[in-house]
Amino acid sequence: MTPPSAPEDFRAMWTAARPDLDTSPMDVVGPVKRIEALLTTALEPLYEGAPLTAPELDALVQLRHAQGPVIARRLAETLGCSRAAVSKTLAKLEKRGFVERRPSPADRRAALVTVTPAGCDAIDTMFPRQLAAEAELLDSLGTDRDRVVEALNLLEKILQQRVVRQRA
């Protein structure tokens, strides 16, 4: 059996196989997942031979303009990553001299993270390149750009509210 060729075929197959399921979330979640995968694939060449990986750049961008040291746990929350993933990323960055970690005086279990001058240099080199690549990818949106941004911001807001309620 060959897999469905079009995303809408997946929903039709699930609906046929399990009419008791509400497959409507697939109309939103499916495109979001495909967009994320396409964006990752499109930006991969940017990181070939670069001093940073995409997750490392994401972490450094958050640290670059922070108002002082950031608790690693808070960085994980901001990035939407597990603490383990952020800890691994920070360990790699620290080993290369891009960040500095030290124990928090308030909580010895927590690490305070700051970006080093070498980390700032790496960000200042890579981030403009990433922005240029993203701009090129999105330039075909034209006049639809504002509608896309508005819809994505609405989706983010709704999901954020739901996550906050689930954690409470």
- Domains of the chain plus CATH, in order, are 50-141 (1.10.10.10)
Report pLDDT digits (tens) over 53-80.
999 999 999 999 898 899 988 999 889 8
Is the pTM higher than 0.85? no
Mean pLDDT of the chain: 91
Residues 6+ apart with CB under 8 A from 60: 52, 93, 98, 99, 115, 119, 122, 123
First to last CA, the chain: 45
Distance CA 115, CA 61 (A): 9
